[in-house]
Amino acid sequence: MGDWNKAVIEEFRANEGKVGGHFENMSLLLLHTTGAKSGKPRINPVVYLEDGNNLVIIASKGGASMHPAWYHNLVANPEVSVEVGIDKFKVQATAIEEPERSKLYSKMSVKYPFFDEYRQKTDRVIPVVTLTRN
């Protein structure tokens, strides 16, 4: 885990899910996955949006040309857990297909306009994932 992620995770846990800096005033969760290749546990801070009973996350990787590693982990092992505030619970991850993918991506972009910038920076279709509580 990179030093930046490690610092965000420590701040998240010390402040009941609230962090400053890049993620200040954003809804942030900690996504616990199992490495697709390594089988090792991984934790990533990820911005989310609530959509009914689901949490929605976007595999944007800042508009990079490749999906983030955590997305590959979710595809390989979709039963994961999340930390939201002080709560930790298991969820089922599902990659969303069109037209729902675009609808959810647009909802996220309204709340967090930088997701529109990410979409414009890449030629890939950025995956949208719902996390449904088990």
pTM beyond 0.85, yes or no: yes
Query: In sequence order, which residues have a C-beta less than 8 Å from that of residue 85 and are 6 or more positions away?
Result: 16, 17
Distances (CA, A) of 2 to 5, 113, 122: 5, 26, 24
Q: What is the tens place of the pLDDT at every residue in 15-35?
A: 999 999 888 999 999 999 999
pLDDT tens column, 72-131 = 999 999 999 999 999 999 999 999 999 999 999 999 999 999 999 999 999 999 999 999
**Nearest-angstrom CA–CA distance, 118 and 79:** 27
Sorted by where each starts, the structural domains of the chain and their CATH numbers stand as: 3-133 (2.30.110.10)
